[in-house]
Amino acid sequence: MKEIQPYLIEGDTATGKPLHLIPHKHNSFNEQWLQDMLYKYPDILPLDQIEDAFTPAIPIGREIFNIDNLFISPAGLITIVETKLWRNPEAHRTVVAQILDYTKTLFKKSFNQLDEAVKAFMQKQYGKPKSIYETVKRMSQLSLKID
Strand, helix or coil at 77? coil
Which of 10-24, 99-113, 132-146 is modeled with the greatest confidence? 99-113
Inside any domain, residue 46? yes
User: Does residue 35 surpass a pLDDT of 60?
Assistant: yes
Inside any domain, residue 1? no
Instruction: Identify whether the C-beta of residue 79 lies closer than 8 Å to the C-beta of residue 106.
Output: no
Closest CA to 61 of 146, 111, 130, 112: 130
User: Does residue 143 surpass a pLDDT of 70?
Assistant: no
Inside any domain, residue 18? yes
Q: Residue range 94-122: average pLDDT?
A: 93
Mean pLDDT of the chain: 87
Between 99 and 109, the higher pLDDT residue: 109
Instruction: Identify whether the C-beta of residue 58 lies closer than 8 Å to the C-beta of residue 43.
Output: no
Q: What is the Cα–Cα distance from 9 to 16, expressed in whole angstroms?
A: 4
Q: Which domain holds residue 111?
A: 7-146
Inside any domain, residue 2? no
Q: Write the DSSP assignment of 93-105 as a string of letters.
A: TTHHHHHHHHHHH
Phi, psi dihedral angles at 78 (to 5 degrees)? -95, 140
Instruction: Identify whether the C-beta of residue 36 lies closer than 8 Å to the C-beta of residue 59.
Output: no
Inside any domain, residue 109? yes
Inside any domain, residue 107? yes
Q: What percent of the chain has pLDDT over 90?
A: 59
Q: What is the Cα–Cα distance from 66 to 68, expressed in whole angstroms?
A: 6
Structural domain tally of the chain?
1
Question: What pTM does this model have?
Answer: 0.79
